[in-house]
Amino acid sequence: MIAILDYDAGNIKSVEKAMQLLGQEVRITRDKETILSADKVILPGVGAFGDAMGKIRQYGLDEVIHEVVHKGTPFLGICLGLQLMFERSDESPEVEGLGILKGEILRIPEGKGLKIPHMGWNSLKLQNNGRLFKKLPSEAYVYFVHSYYLKAADESIVTAVTEYGTQIHASVESGNVFACQFHPEKSSDVGIQILRNFISI
């Protein structure tokens, strides 16, 4: 069973549908025992960093997430879910993130004729043999919607980068922890393969 964490954030249903399409039993939940008994856990999300962390703490999910990660359950953060796994964000400078991984979330720089938020398809440059990207071409295209981006402290965990006004750390992997800034559930066949790869871990 795959647990999708419910903290009132957007985009949960599309992740659920993608996983069901791949034949998975899925539960959208904030129940601690259900989450801890799951084979895999996903933290999706669309919204503001500070609001999301407030909800996660309100529901006690911060402690549960740390417990899931500590016990070695495969854990996937998507979009805002990636950002929440790090220490801080320019979007809500006063709010601490989950701090599972080291790094910060920065605002995409203005200028160069680029629209913010960054919405649309960008190619990935794959590196460090990320397990999410097995059977994919080195320049796979995926779908992004974001105004803030990750700069990881340790580049050895970065498994994909893209360019949009700056270099964006688009995906990371550290032990049983995985995260994507883009939306695999909205990235057509490439995204489905990424989710299939996560299921197979």
CA–CA distance, 98 with 59 (Å, rounded to integer): 14
Rounded CA-CA distance 65/43 in Å is: 9
Of 118, 146, 169, 183, the active-site residue reads 183
Of 16, 91, 173, 185, catalytic = 185
Choose the catalytic residue: 79, 91, 118, 169: 79
Q: Among residues 27, 96, 62, 75, which one has the least CA distance to residue 178?
A: 75
Helix axes 188-200, 12-21, angle to 10 degrees: 70
Q: Is 185 a catalytic residue?
A: yes
Of the candidates 76, 79, 115, 80, the residue with the CA atom closest to the CA atom of residue 95? 80
Active site residue 183: yes
* 118 is annotated as an active-site residue: no
Query: Which of these, 7, 151, 173, 178, lies nearest to 77 by C-alpha position?
Result: 178
- What is the dihedral sign for C-alpha 24, 29, 32, 34? negative
Distances (CA, A) of 30 to 33, 62, 104: 9, 11, 26
For residue 142, give Cα distances in angstroms to 18, 94, 120, 194: 15, 31, 8, 10
Catalytic residue numbers read 79, 183, 185
